[in-house]
Structure 1
Amino acid sequence: MFVRSIYATGDPARADTAIRALNTQGRDLLEERPGYRGAGVFVDRELGKLLAVSWWESEEARRNSDQVMRERRGALLGPFAGTLAVDNYEVAGFHEVRLPRVGGGLRITRLEFDPADTDLLADTFRTSVVPRLETMAGLARAALFVDRQRGRGMTGVLFTDRESLAASRAGQAAARHEGAAKSHVTVTGLEEFEVVHADARVG
């Protein structure tokens, strides 16, 4: 599986306009593309941050969707988006306990690592991080995305409600510390979002 992430920042008061466009026109465009396997839309309404992730069954399917999505992205996200960043990743780890819920919480951790340690990172996520996450109330999904060439990636951990997200902070901090040490990664960012939409079909 492969994903494309769109990270936009802008005026918090205009975030809902962009969300509506992504959940209507944007979803229609994605569903027309071969190999599409679902998407997620996440928002930080206080700071004005929007994260959209689309899932693809192959790298080729993701690449083939790039042109049409690139042409329409500005219209979908304006007038909200003041900044926009697009990243492509391979899904190196995925664990599902239950389906995510609208209004739930997402925590992402941004990572940098030696590309030679990519497989070590994936193994550490599966064998060390996921078992720790499974002990946390409200866990829905956990995923690891990697860019093997650039040595960059991120984990995304979804919880069914914002209370569970908040309650997991100490536990995930411990898992993050242990996982980073074992896999030789540097944590470069930590963010939390509200779940607006999440319907990826994985496995």
Structure 2
Amino acid sequence: MHARSTSIMGDSSQVDACIRYVRDDVMPTVTAMDGCLGLSLLANRETGRCIATTSWLSEEAMQATDGVVSPLRERASELMAGEATVDEWEIAVMHREHDAQEGSWCRVTWLRCEPSEIESTIDFFRDSVLARMEGTDGFCSASFMVNRMTGECCGTTRFDTRADLEATREMAGGLRGERSRMGGVQFIDVDECELAIAHLRVPELV
């Protein structure tokens, strides 16, 4: 399973307009493409960051849509008055306690490791991060996506409410510290976002 994420940091006053554009124009177009399983959109209304992620049956199906998706991405960038960053991933872990609900909250963590450390980093997310988060109030799901060539990774944990997410900040920080002490990993960024569109449709991968 593969995914493409497009992140735009732009005008926070345009976040609702971006959500409408993705729901009304982007999602029907992209999900009709061969091999596309679905789409999700995360939004931080305070910073103006929006992250759209599409899921695909194969890397070939995903890459075959580049030319069609580019104009949609350019329109979103114009709408948000921000530059788009695009990443392509392999979905290494996907676990849901229950289906995604719009209005739930996600913590997204970006990190980088040596490509040779990808498997151990996946194992840490599955065996430590997911195992610890599963026992917290309001936990909904967790995913971990990787680029095996560059060593870049993106982990997401989702909770029923913003309060549930905030209650796990200390635990999440401790897990990042634990992984940092093991060496070989650089944490790049962490963000907390609302799940504005929930239609990713990735099967269980643990």
Provide TM-score, normalisation by structure 2: 0.93
State whether residues 91 and 143 of structure 1, in contact with CA within 8 Å, keep that contact through their aligned partners in structure 2.
yes
Counterpart position of 1:196 = 196
Counterpart amino acid of 1:89?
W
Percent identity between the aligned chains?
A: 29
List aligned pairs for 1:58-137, cutoff 5 A.
58-137=58-137
CA apart distance, 1:103:
1.4
2:66 partner SS: helix
| More off after superposition, 63-72 vs 18-27 | 63-72
| More off after superposition, 25-34 vs 179-188 | 179-188
Unaligned runs of 5+ in 2: none
List aligned pairs for 1:51-62, cutoff 5 A.
51-62=51-62
CA apart distance, 1:6:
0.6
| More off after superposition, 65-74 vs 44-53 | 65-74
State whether residues 31 and 39 of structure 2, in contact with CA within 8 Å, keep that contact through their aligned partners in structure 1.
no
State whether residues 132 and 175 of structure 1, in contact with CA within 8 Å, keep that contact through their aligned partners in structure 2.
no
2:87 partner SS: strand
Structure 2 Cα separation of the partners of residues 10 and 58 of structure 1:
30
CA gap of 1:15–1:166, structure 2 versus 1, over 3 A, is: same
Unaligned runs of 5+ in 1: none
State whether residues 112 and 185 of structure 1, in contact with CA within 8 Å, keep that contact through their aligned partners in structure 2.
yes
1:103 partner SS: coil
2:27 partner SS: helix
Structure 2 Cα separation of the partners of residues 82 and 76 of structure 1:
9
Counterpart amino acid of 2:88?
N
Counterpart position of 1:168 = 168
CA apart distance, 1:177:
2.4
State whether residues 53 and 200 of structure 2, in contact with CA within 8 Å, keep that contact through their aligned partners in structure 1.
no
CA gap of 1:77–1:21, structure 2 versus 1, over 3 A, is: farther
CA apart distance, 1:64:
1.2
State whether residues 124 and 182 of structure 1, in contact with CA within 8 Å, keep that contact through their aligned partners in structure 2.
no
CA gap of 1:183–1:23, structure 2 versus 1, over 3 A, is: farther
CA apart distance, 1:166:
0.9
Counterpart amino acid of 2:138?
G
